[in-house]
Amino acid sequence: MRKSIILLLLLLSTIVYGQEDIQEVLKQDVCECFGEKTKRSLNADNMYVFKLCLLAKIKNYSEEFQTILKEERFVEVSKRKGQDYDINLRNLGLFIAGHLEYFIQDCDVYYLYSSALRIQELTIRAGTYRFEKAMLSRKLKEPGNNPKLFYERGMTYLAIGQYEKAKQDFYKCLDTDPNNEKAIYSLGWACELNEEFGVAIGWYKELTKKGNRYDAAKALEITKRKVKDKEAFESLKTLNQLIALKSASISKRKKSIPEGNSVPVMQGCEGLTDQNEIKKCMSELVKKHVNENFDGDMVMNNSSLRNGKHTIHAAFKISKEGKIKDIKVLFNDPFAIFETKRVLNSLPPILKPGMTAEGKPVSVYYSLPINFIISYE
């Protein structure tokens, strides 16, 4: 009997075929191709780049592996002229669903892409929030109103970042309709965006217990990822490994440089010998680079953030080889995280890594806050 590749990929933990671990190879390649798809923007809806990337990788698989993928229609004959094969997006979706934990926890680009799709639902609603809020509030005052209107108004509040008001309306909806799955999901979402991660996880788990709720399962993994990222960022601060840089509207926190050690030298700071001057020069260069290249309009236009001042906390490492690595961003919005990582990855080259007093290269960690203000007119 022919086995379904989708069932194999979803149900078995390890599959070795032709000395290849099918799951691991395919997971990593799908992740890398999502990186190609979203290289310039999380809004890139065109799957053509993704498909070409994954098909190119599949061509390098063993013949046995390729045969399985074709027989089970993960790869199928293309309808495009000049293209032999195509990716079956439905089966791709099943594969991702079967490995959701990996794609959210370990594949940064898919995590941000999935988070962005959720946020875009809110930005569409935010465009008409004044009219909807007024209309729904008026209807709720009428005798014999439908309690489900609380859900609709709650979604309107959620779209413009008024999370406490949104939560109140979702609770009111659940008071009269405790099994309303949309209200349960949205209540978890409001808690998640309000950074009440533990409460959000509780609501998402309750929803997943009701059956195979894919959206709730994805939201649960996204929230768990946010908790993990926060803990990773905080661990760096606890270890006192961060040298603070100043950025847009940022107050500088001073940290002394250990005697005898030298900090990395960024292009534009060559020629300086005093370590504090080199650090100051790098801080100014990073600030200038972020201010000139951070696309704040893109973040504000795509995000569903509340009015007021926001601070993105970022950290990165300059490795022993003088490369910028391990960029960590602590913020509750995928577009801001994506843009921060993009900008930091494009910093000027590091000409010389940090050195110990003995002249050995050493990794150096930096922290960087980025401030911006959102105002709904």
State the pLDDT at residue 140. 65
- Does residue 91 sit in the same domain as residue 118? no
Distances (CA, A) of 361 to 245, 263, 349: 21, 10, 16
DSSP 113: H
Containing domain of residue 253, as a range?
240-374
For residues 103 and 111, is the Cβ–Cβ distance under 8 A? yes
Residue indicated by tokens 């105002």:
375
- Domain membership of residue 310 (yes or no) is yes
Backbone angles phi, psi at 17, to 5 degrees: -140, 120
- What is the distance, to the nearest Å, from the Cα of residue 54 to the centroid of all Cα atoms in its chain? 21
User: Average pLDDT of 46-51?
Assistant: 85
- Does residue 132 sit in the same domain as residue 92? no
Reported as type and span, the H/E element at residue 346 is none
Give the residue from 202, 233, 264 where a domain finishes: 233
State the pLDDT at residue 307. 77
pLDDT tens-place string over residues 24-46: 889 999 999 999 888 878 876 67
Distances (CA, A) of 139 to 135, 136, 142, 147, 228: 6, 5, 5, 10, 42
Give the residue from 233, 253, 275 where a domain finishes: 233
The partner residues of 315 in beta bridges, in order of sequence, read: 328, 367
pTM above 0.85, yes or no: no
- Does residue 173 sit in the same domain as residue 245? no
State the pLDDT at residue 226. 95
The CATH number covering residue 223 comes to 1.25.40.10
- Does residue 90 sit in the same domain as residue 212? no
- Does residue 153 sit in the same domain as residue 257? no
Q: What percent of the chain has pLDDT over 70?
A: 82
- Does residue 121 sit in the same domain as residue 204? yes
For residues 115 and 43, is the Cβ–Cβ distance under 8 A? no
State the pLDDT at residue 152. 87
Q: How many CA atoms lie within 13 A of 358 on its CB side?
A: 2
With 60 as the cut, is the pLDDT of residue 250 above it? no
Q: pLDDT category, 193, cuts 50, 70, 90?
A: very high
With 90 as the cut, is the pLDDT of residue 2 above it? no
State the pLDDT at residue 264. 92
Instruction: Report d(CA 113, CA 215) in Å as an integer.
Output: 14
Q: pLDDT category, 347, cuts 50, 70, 90?
A: very high
State the pLDDT at residue 306. 76
State the pLDDT at residue 143. 60
Higher pLDDT, 305 or 295: 295
User: Average pLDDT of 269-293?
Assistant: 90
pLDDT tens-place string over residues 95-122: 899 899 999 999 999 999 999 999 888 8
State the pLDDT at residue 14. 37
| Helix extents (H) in the chain | 5-11, 22-37, 48-58, 63-71, 89-98, 100-105, 108-126, 129-140, 148-159, 163-176, 181-193, 197-208, 214-238, 275-293, 296-302, 334-345
- For Cα atoms 350, 340, 302, give the angle at the middle one, nearest 5 degrees: 155
State the pLDDT at residue 371. 86
State the pLDDT at residue 16. 44
User: Average pLDDT of 180-201?
Assistant: 95
User: Average pLDDT of 260-270?
Assistant: 86
Instruction: Report d(CA 53, CA 221) in Å as an integer.
Output: 26
- Domain membership of residue 169 (yes or no) is yes
Q: How many domains, in total, are found in the chain?
A: 3
Q: What percent of the chain has pLDDT over 90?
A: 38
Nearest Cα residue to 351 out of 258, 257, 281: 281
Q: How many CA atoms lie within 13 A of 53 on its CB side?
A: 18
Give the residue from 64, 98, 132 where a domain finishes: 98
User: Average pLDDT of 201-229?
Assistant: 91
With 50 as the cut, is the pLDDT of residue 3 above it? no
Average pLDDT, the chain: 82
With 90 as the cut, is the pLDDT of residue 323 above it? yes
